[in-house]
Amino acid sequence: MGEPDRTTWSDSSARAVLQLMVESVAELIGFEVAALSVVLGDELVTLAYTGPEEHREYMEQPDPVSVIEPVLARATPWGRRLRYIEPTPVEELEGHWIHFDPVPSDAEDAWGQGEELFAELSDDDGTVVGILSVDRPASGRRPGARELSLLERYAAQAERAVLTLFEREALLEQVAQAESARHLIRSASRPTLDSLDDVLRHTHDQLVASFDARGSWVHVFQPDGPPISVARTRTGQRVEIDPDVLAFTSELAPRLWDRQRPLVLPDDTEPESLPATVRAHLLRRDDSRVLGVALGVGDECVGLMVLSRDPDQPGWSSVEVASVQQIGHDLGAVLMTARALERERNLVVELQRMDDYRSQVIAMLSHELRTPLTVISGNLELLGDTDLDEEATRYHQAMGRGTERMRQVVDDLLLLARVSNPSHPLVRLPVDLRAVTREVVSLVESTARTKGVSLTVRLGPDPLTVCGDAVELDRLVGNLVSNAVKYTGAGGSVVIAAQHQDDDVVLAVTDTGLGISEEDQRGLFQAFFRTTNPQALREPGTGLGLATVATIVERHQGRVDVASRLGEGSTFTLTLPAG
């Protein structure tokens, strides 16, 4: 973390502490005026003042920080922090430095007009962070050795107070930045960043920006493959991680995770945890400041995250270490989610691929079967025209039935493969579902009559238009109506009713047939599914009809529902968007 932004420093409790300090200086050392000014950005701002009220407003106006240099140049050191300026006019200070009229005194060591005494407050590097100035001794005389030593002690205290407050300010800022980094890393779990790669890129950007890092390295273990390891510089360039370090990561990360302990280099000297070569590589010969934390969730360690800073940057503060550790937890959770999502997506792609392959194989096989089937049917027909004896006629009829059944299976397979093929587009045209239904009913009427099943059709006078493929819609309604007739015994009834409902056209096929058990209803729309009901199994079928229904309905953005009770009958309801 770089310089704290001192310009934002406005904490009122901090000001109160400094005010108390200048008041003590004035009262205990015997000055009427005491002021404490601190360097905030490029200004010298008086944060605490005690003295004549008429000067307060003036005192509280900030000066440019450049005013300090000429003052220091002219000052004589009096001890460690104290600086004294002889009573000579200092033009550069005009307009910036008030000369208080001294308390009159005839003493030899009288405090003269233009005399200045102040303490220079600086940080460890010697950079001036503020000035504690005093003026107008109440006695009218220069301070003696006792007062000066007291003033030196107050100056030391003031210096500590200012530095502590700056540090606190910097810490507050660090916490805020760490918070924002955490927040942003949490946001990495949003659905748009669902691949591991996305998460790692997002994380790198946030980490280096929030922690002012030279670079970041995130190493993620993969359950079924080599780990993913991405190291980048601040500007995003990829960095190679030494193979020694990579090899040691699988040992180091779980150990850090188990102990919930960070690795802070170069300070960390736990010898048994880090081989010298790994340590040397991590520090990159220039003594970088390295912070490593394990990533994980619960008992599982999923990787390692390492941040580095240049040697001349500040070390990792305890707040930063804690924040980065917390991020290790957050990121661990995000990575687990991303990993799960990636696995799921790969699975979906794989399933899709298998589904496509299955459709292709089915389509190909059906085509291959169709040609020899046509040849067999044709030859059977020719054979039927010849004089066959009774036995041969029986064989001929059996072959005819078998061939017809095979033709049915092949046709059903071809249709299912065609409607399931994603590259076979749906050509939509307005289709009146009433016409489709009438056509279908005309084809099953004779079968129903033969079986003794009554057929009722309720369509209403108005067109029931839907937008879709006429052939597919015909198979859709056809499959439902022929099933109803097929699975209803003599004396039963089938009712087909269609109507508009809001923005949809709804067609219901109700029968009083065998019905379907609840358990069988669950698998009904899967290809090759046939119910466990022995009565239903007596009817010839392929188990492809309802799978085709479901696929066609889906292609038409519709829905198919079933309501059925075993032994009582079934209602299949089609809902299609009105065209």
The nearest distance, CB 294 to ligand ADP, in angstroms, is 54
Specify the residue, 210 or 479, whose C-beta has the smaller distance to ligand ADP: 479
CA dihedral 245→247→249→254, nearest 10 degrees, is -150
In this chain, which of 18, 218, 524, 574 binds ligand ADP, going by CB under 6 A? 524
Distances (CA, A) of 422 to 419, 490, 558: 8, 41, 17
- Tell whether residue 332 is a contact of ligand ADP (CB under 6 A): no
Specify the residue, 73 or 490, whose C-beta has the smaller distance to ligand ADP: 490
- Tell whether residue 211 is a contact of ligand ADP (CB under 6 A): no
Which span sits near ligand ADP by CB under 6 A: 98-106, 142-150, 420-428, 530-538?
Answer: 530-538
Q: Please answer whether residues 139 and 180 qualify as being in contact, where contact means their C-beta atoms are separated by less than 8 angstroms.
A: no
Specify the residue, 359 or 542, whose C-beta has the smaller distance to ligand ADP: 542
Integer Cα distance of 383 and 385 in angstroms:
5
In this chain, which of 117, 265, 476, 536 binds ligand ADP, going by CB under 6 A? 536
In this chain, which of 157, 530, 573, 578 binds ligand ADP, going by CB under 6 A? 530
Specify the residue, 308 or 512, whose C-beta has the smaller distance to ligand ADP: 512
Integer Cα distance of 126 and 406 in angstroms:
97
Amino acid at 80: R
Query: Could you tell me which of 123, 183, 174, 209 has the C-alpha nearest to residue 315?
Result: 174
Q: Which two tokens stand for residue 149?
A: 């030593």
Q: Is 271 helix (H, G, I), strand (E, B) or coil?
A: helix
Backbone dihedral angles phi then psi of residue 292, each to the nearest 5 degrees: -120, 135
- Tell whether residue 484 is a contact of ligand ADP (CB under 6 A): yes
Q: Residues 21 to 50: which contact ligand ADP by CB under 6 A?
A: none
- Token look-up 């109700």 returns 510
Q: Which two tokens stand for residue 267?
A: 């300070």
Q: Which two tokens stand for residue 140?
A: 């009218």
- Tell whether residue 545 is a contact of ligand ADP (CB under 6 A): yes
Q: Please answer whether residues 278 and 244 qualify as being in contact, where contact means their C-beta atoms are separated by less than 8 angstroms.
A: yes
Angle CA(297)–CA(302)–CA(308) in degrees, nearest 5?
Answer: 105
Specify the residue, 40 or 516, whose C-beta has the smaller distance to ligand ADP: 516
The nearest distance, CB 419 to ligand ADP, in angstroms, is 14
Specify the residue, 249 or 510, whose C-beta has the smaller distance to ligand ADP: 510
In this chain, which of 203, 531, 551, 575 binds ligand ADP, going by CB under 6 A? 531
Angle CA(362)–CA(363)–CA(368) in degrees, nearest 5?
Answer: 95
Which span sits near ligand ADP by CB under 6 A: 3-11, 30-38, 267-275, 542-550?
Answer: 542-550
Specify the residue, 392 or 563, whose C-beta has the smaller distance to ligand ADP: 563
In this chain, which of 151, 546, 550, 574 binds ligand ADP, going by CB under 6 A? 546
Residues linked to residue 574 through DSSP beta bridges, in sequence order = 507, 560
In this chain, which of 83, 218, 511, 555 binds ligand ADP, going by CB under 6 A? 511
The nearest distance, CB 434 to ligand ADP, in angstroms, is 21
- 3-state SS, 196-234, equals HHHHHHHHHHHHHHHHCCCEEEEEEEECCEEEEEEEEEC
Angle CA(270)–CA(331)–CA(168) in degrees, nearest 5?
Answer: 70
Q: Which two tokens stand for residue 18?
A: 């400094």
Radius of gyration of the chain (CA): 45
Q: Where are the beta strands (DSSP E) in 298-394?
A: 300-309
Burial class (CB in 10 A: 0-12, 13-18, 19+), 13: exposed
Q: Residues 547 to 576: which contact ligand ADP by CB under 6 A?
A: 547, 570
The nearest distance, CB 475 to ligand ADP, in angstroms, is 11
- Tell whether residue 472 is a contact of ligand ADP (CB under 6 A): no
In this chain, which of 543, 559, 578, 579 binds ligand ADP, going by CB under 6 A? 543
Which span sits near ligand ADP by CB under 6 A: 240-248, 310-318, 337-345, 478-486?
Answer: 478-486
- Tell whether residue 523 is a contact of ligand ADP (CB under 6 A): no
The nearest distance, CB 543 to ligand ADP, in angstroms, is 5
The DSSP call for residue 366 is H
Specify the residue, 396 or 559, whose C-beta has the smaller distance to ligand ADP: 559
Integer Cα distance of 33 and 7 in angstroms:
26
Indicate the helix (H) or strand (E) that contains 183. helix 145-187
The nearest distance, CB 499 to ligand ADP, in angstroms, is 20
Specify the residue, 50 or 551, whose C-beta has the smaller distance to ligand ADP: 551
Q: Please answer whether residues 60 and 49 qualify as being in contact, where contact means their C-beta atoms are separated by less than 8 angstroms.
A: yes
The nearest distance, CB 506 to ligand ADP, in angstroms, is 17
Integer Cα distance of 266 and 311 in angstroms:
10
Angle CA(267)–CA(269)–CA(273) in degrees, nearest 5?
Answer: 130
Which span sits near ligand ADP by CB under 6 A: 140-148, 375-383, 455-463, 541-549?
Answer: 541-549
In this chain, which of 263, 514, 574, 576 binds ligand ADP, going by CB under 6 A? 514
The nearest distance, CB 476 to ligand ADP, in angstroms, is 12
Residues linked to residue 141 through DSSP beta bridges, in sequence order = 110
- Tell whether residue 448 is a contact of ligand ADP (CB under 6 A): no
Which span sits near ligand ADP by CB under 6 A: 105-113, 286-294, 527-535, 550-558?
Answer: 527-535
Residues in Cβ contact with 18 at an 8 Å cutoff, skipping those fewer than 6 apart: 36, 38, 47, 48, 158, 161, 162
- Tell whether residue 513 is a contact of ligand ADP (CB under 6 A): yes
Specify the residue, 46 or 510, whose C-beta has the smaller distance to ligand ADP: 510
Which span sits near ligand ADP by CB under 6 A: 24-32, 170-178, 344-352, 507-515?
Answer: 507-515
Give the interface size with ligand ADP as a residue count (CB under 6 A).
23
Q: Residues 486 to 505: which contact ligand ADP by CB under 6 A?
A: 487
Q: Catalog residues that contact ligand ADP under the rule CB under 6 A.
A: 479, 483-484, 487, 511, 513-516, 524, 529-531, 533, 536, 541-547, 570
